[in-house]
Structure 1
Amino acid sequence: MPKRTTDELSDLKAFAAVAHAGGFREAARLLQLSPSGLSDAVRRLENHLGVRLLHRTTRSVLPTEQGQQLLERVAPAFAELELALQIVNSARDKPAGNLRLNVPVNATRLFLAPLLTRFLQRFPDISVEVIAETGVIDIVAAGCDAGIRYDDRLEQDMIAMPIGPREQRFATAAAPALLEKTGRPQHPDDLLKMPCIRGRFAKGNLERWSFQRGEEVCHIEPHGPLIYSGGTGADLGVSLAREGVGVIHLFEGWLQPYLDSGELEPILGPWWQPFAGPFLYYSGRKLLPPPLRAFIDFVKAGE
């Protein structure tokens, strides 16, 4: 009985390989087996199930409707089995493989570079792919192992843990020459009379600037000569702000080098509103790949 189960698993793997490769020769090349051996395995599985699983022509091999249904069921199971073997091997050897992260653009600018530098030095057999964008995506559907987002943008079925600075602020600044012309604002409402540089979110809506001093909270929608694409176009906005085109409202860490150099002057400092830092999040529905497990442990340890 156990041998029959083992044979069935081998035949299922052969079928899945042929279906994914679109032919027996390509699947045989990838698996380093003979095309005839794979053909025998698929035929054996079809006889056992009593249904045809593949349409075979001289030009192509495609799953039948029943074959596609079977493929959709067994492919995730084989992926989990492969991952389980990787995890067992990682307990014996160094973690190795690829780690795909989906992150906001500001993370790559503010804290991710030094973190990844230390991580890659610690785990030289792991390679990291970073997909930086402003919009929120389904990381599982996109083939990413994990993502970085803020609390208000996390899906409820995800596991999340803090990463990066635990508190951040949006800073407001302008070139000293501009402030000499317009005067220095004392209240956020004063910005409504000044040229401002705003960002537009991926969904199309313009950023609303928020301020807080004590119990007083103020939200404004300023106007100005430039609108940039949020995240990806922020450097353009900062460059024009440094030239005196308008007031900029952005992550404090992003503006800090220009505040330090004097190219930008901070304004409305007592009104800068703090907010919680970002989170690393990932799906808890499946086994964790060794590179992701290593990254999670690395972040938790604060290395």
Structure 2
Amino acid sequence: MRQPNLSDVALFAAVVEAGGFRVAAQKRGMSASSISDCVRRLESDLGVRLLNRTTRSVFPTEVGARLLERLRPALDEIGAAFSDLDDNALSPVGTLRLNVPVPVARFVLPGLIPAFLQRYPGVSVEVAMDNTFIDVIAAGFDAGVRYEESVAKDMIAVPIGPRRQRFVAAASPAYVQEHGAPQHPRDLVNHRLIGHRFESGKLGVWEFEKDGVTLRVPPQGPLLSSSQDLEVGSAIGGVGIIYTFEEYLRPLFDQGLLLPVLEDWWQAFDGPYLYYNDRRHVPSPLRAFVDFLKAKNQG
């Protein structure tokens, strides 16, 4: 077995992460054929096949998967070491990859990302929206944003966005005029409710809280959707009562398009957190973003 080229090793990892030569080539600014040649050379040097190639997909062999599992920490350390070269000059360079829930992308990041990019012009940001909890490191992200109950205990968590939020219930004036407004969460069994189903398939159960009493209401009604925009639009159209993040509905209260209901029972909860792996070297774009958030929180 010949000593493998370190660049070929990195390209092999890039192909597996990207799920194919074409995407890896686009990210690396190389041709797909060049990357394929490098991976074949690595396989020749090692004397084993690392990738299974079909006309539709590329995926690691059992040997390739085991090798990548062993190599990943070392490759992360190498990448972090190069990122650290920019730290002394306070000018981080690279891409910050974030995985966040839809409400965070819609209501929190727009108030942070423009100022962050202006402060660090050498950094670019990629944001993927996902409402389910994932292993951000395994999925190729630098960090994620979730709520406290979803953050693993071995992760570093930094507050991001508002520290208190609420779920609120509302209905259109036309709905209230026709059906009346519930006075207690128990009254919801006699109302038309607009439900939300998460990507995981789980139904969002409504929770109301008052004076230490918590009531859970599985929504039953004419509409169940995974689209927040459809649910809000349907509530405005008089389909039924909606229960969601206050940020979605507050402007509609101000415009008179929706009316708050059951205000005394609205549930408050802690705001979201940025979370990332507690590894020795944090990539400089992520470190810059963490410092940016901490400065914001102290301000």
State the TM-score bracket (shorter-chain normalisation). 0.7 to 0.9
1:219 correspondence with 2:216: yes
Q: Distance in 2 between matches of 1:178 and 1:186?
A: 15
Structure 1 counterpart SS, 2:182: coil
- Corresponding residue for residue 137 of structure 1: 134
C-alpha contact 2:155 2:275 (8 A) present in aligned 1: yes
Structure 2 counterpart SS, 1:120: helix
Shift of 1:53: 3.8
Distance 1:175 1:222, change over 3 A: same
Q: Which amino acid aligns with 2:115?
A: R
Shift of 1:155: 1.3
Structure 1 counterpart SS, 2:88: helix
Q: Which amino acid aligns with 1:234?
A: Q
Shift of 1:65: 8.7
Distance 1:17 1:130, change over 3 A: closer
Structure 2 counterpart SS, 1:111: helix
Shift of 1:219: 1.3
Shift of 1:66: 7.9
Cα deviation code 1:32-81 (max 9, x no counterpart): xxxxxx9xx98xxx7xxxxx5457xxxxxxx9998886665445324412
Q: Which amino acid aligns with 2:281?
A: L
Of the three residues 272, 279, 285, the one matched with 1:278 is: 272
Larger radius of gyration: 1
Q: Distance in 1 between matches of 2:122 and 2:255?
A: 39
Q: Distance in 2 between matches of 1:138 and 1:14?
A: 26
Q: Distance in 1 between matches of 2:246 and 2:62?
A: 56
> What is the TM-score with the length of structure 2 in the denominator?
0.79
- Corresponding residue for residue 60 of structure 1: none
C-alpha contact 2:83 2:94 (8 A) present in aligned 1: no
1:265 correspondence with 2:259: yes
Of the three residues 71, 80, 83, the one matched with 2:80 is: 83
Q: Distance in 1 between matches of 2:134 and 2:237?
A: 35
Q: RMSD of aligned C-alpha atoms? A: 3.5
- Corresponding residue for residue 116 of structure 2: 119
> What is the TM-score with the length of structure 1 in the denominator?
0.79
Unaligned stretches of 5+ in structure 1? 1-7, 31-37, 47-51, 56-62
Unaligned stretches of 5+ in structure 2? 16-24, 31-37, 50-59
Q: Distance in 2 between matches of 1:299 and 1:21?
A: 30
Distance 1:130 1:66, change over 3 A: closer
Shift of 1:160: 0.7
Share of identical aligned residues, percent? 45
- Corresponding residue for residue 293 of structure 1: 287
Paired positions, count: 272
Distance 1:146 1:70, change over 3 A: closer
